[in-house]
Chains A and B, each alone.
Chain A
């Protein structure tokens, strides 16, 4: 006797394969509980007719409905698809969803087999099923990762493996690695023209799955913080993918979000902003949760680049509650209020935990500090700078450049840093403007290079005990860098020099006079020439190409299978004709 329901099911699958209806195939291959009644019948039939260890019989059953070779398939083999069907039935037979770890492993094996079937002659038909399995596996992996009590033994197993100097692979990452194989299969599709685009302007063959699979991998790699693996996805896409614009909106927006986050994490804020702005613009207006996540990183990138969100933008639904977080930063930057800025970016500050959780605290605090210093220099200039003057002596007209006193800037910076340190502002100063001694102040970014002058060691008494047990002779005279707690003239000068170098101040430093002079003023307002708009400066210097984002059809890359026309080639070493 033959299992009737299974036979009927396989007959229908064979029909679907013949029609190459990938969507219908995916809809038929249900694997998530609760299974519909007919599927439960199939399961009990498999259990009855094909218990464990009857792999070969099940295989033959499948082959009896789906021939391994078919003339219509260009002579291609379907063996891997048949093996996938066998795996599918054994999955239904063996899965026990009460054990999520085991389910995860079975599902991963099923996905693996479906990916092998991607290479069969009906690969494109299998693709929707691969996408569906990948999505479920990704969801399950992330779900499990959030339940440490379930994966405790795995974590232990991993740490043992780690001791053996093997690279540690988490459950999430192992799932991502399987899905990445599907991504590679989609990307390496060779059918159709080299551009990978069919006559309707759509991605050809398995290429339609490139961004679906890439986005799932990226979701998992970001979840387990493996940005290096994400980098490989972007690199592969940049080399081989058809243009992103040919793919559906959801895939474009998701991909650009991850690309933007990756660029952001690598301090490529301008490129991050380009990717995130496009993601934001193309995101469905009603998908508030996605718009909000994009908006958070877009806003952070823009603030770092000197572009602040308008209050109108912050009124949008996806920006609910974000104004109170971002506006104080913008206000402190605009004013040059170093004290408020430092307090706001402190780890104990009100929103610090939120910034940390979003992984934007360090970027905001390090990068925006530069902008605060630029504004402080500007404010010093507007408060006490010399606007420059034209003096005439006979026929000679001399024009003095507008300048600002670095001493004044030091005075203001010291005042503001003291506020952060909690000094009473009228505490008498011991030595003017230099070091106080409390332990909490943030140091200059380059503090490690700011050495105080080595002091001549006091003559030591012969029997005085050395303060440390051992000092290497090479390091005997080295003075530990003890950064000044309050700024001094060297720090101010180096900050101003750095701002000039970055193009954020326009002019030069007179080291002898401790002044910053604005050059090239002519008829313009000195403050505009000396302190150009931050966004303008950064934009002018930025490279607009975003690696990972394929915008246009590229000339097909040189590679295996390419026909190269050498008619115009010259012998090596020949002069250009």
Chain B
């Protein structure tokens, strides 16, 4: 709630919210839930609008712009432990027959 008016008139900033107290006490009371990391609430944005450039992740944090999502993830490595164990099991079961 940013209320501001310059010039004359019976106006001034109303800054403190009625509910601020509520939420702070609440956080104190809910320590166990807080252990579950962040609040689930989608916070209000501090500004209403911004230019598309401001949505771009700053350089150094973006981790590149391509291949952010892996679509080819099939694991063809058959030499690691997991595959070896599976191979052994197949051989064992076949040997029993």
Does A36 belong to the interface (CB within 8 Å)? yes
Chain B proximity of A35: nearest CB distance (Å): 7
Contact present for B18 and A282 (CB under 8 Å): no
Q: A219 CA to B67 CA in the complex, in Å?
A: 33
Contact present for B93 and A411 (CB under 8 Å): yes
| Of listed B3, B4, B16, B86, residue having the most chain A CB within 10 A | B86
Does A8 belong to the interface (CB within 8 Å)? yes
Q: A75 CA to B84 CA in the complex, in Å?
A: 85
A-facing mask of B59-97, CB < 8 A → 1, else 0? 001111001111111111010001101110110010000
- Contact-residue bracket for chain B: 35 or more
Within 8 A of B (CB), among A335-361: 335, 337, 353-354, 357-358
With A309-B68, A310-B63, A412-B90 known as contacts, the answer to whether A289 contacts B38 (CB < 8 A) is yes
Which of A135-143, A235-243, A514-522 binds B?
A: A135-143
Contact present for A36 and B13 (CB under 8 Å): yes
* Total CB contacts across the A-B interface at under 8 A: 206
List A contacts of B62 (CB < 8 A): 316
Residues of B within 8 A of A (CB): 1, 3-5, 9-14, 16-19, 22-23, 25-26, 29-30, 36-38, 40-50, 52, 54-58, 61-64, 67-76, 78, 82-83, 85-87, 89-90, 93
Contact present for A30 and B49 (CB under 8 Å): no
Closest residue of chain A to B62 (Cβ to Cβ) is: A316
With A27-B4, A337-B82, A533-B71 known as contacts, the answer to whether A249 contacts B10 (CB < 8 A) is no
Contact present for A97 and B83 (CB under 8 Å): no
Contact present for B12 and A38 (CB under 8 Å): yes
The interface on chain A, measured as residues whose beta carbon lies within 8 A of the other chain's beta carbons, has a size of: 91
With A28-B9, A32-B16, A383-B83 known as contacts, the answer to whether A254 contacts B42 (CB < 8 A) is yes
List B contacts of A425 (CB < 8 A): 89
Contact present for B71 and A313 (CB under 8 Å): no
Closest residue of chain A to B55 (Cβ to Cβ) is: A282
| Of listed A30, A97, A317, residue having the most chain B CB within 10 A | A30
The listed residue (B19, B61, B82, B89) touching A139 by CB distance below 8 A is B19
Closest residue of chain B to A293 (Cβ to Cβ) is: B42
Contact present for B26 and A147 (CB under 8 Å): yes
Contact present for B71 and A27 (CB under 8 Å): no
Closest residue of chain A to B43 (Cβ to Cβ) is: A289
Does A253 belong to the interface (CB within 8 Å)? yes
With A33-B18, A309-B68, A383-B90 known as contacts, the answer to whether A219 contacts B10 (CB < 8 A) is no
Chain B proximity of A453: nearest CB distance (Å): 24
List A contacts of B74 (CB < 8 A): 334, 375, 378, 531, 533
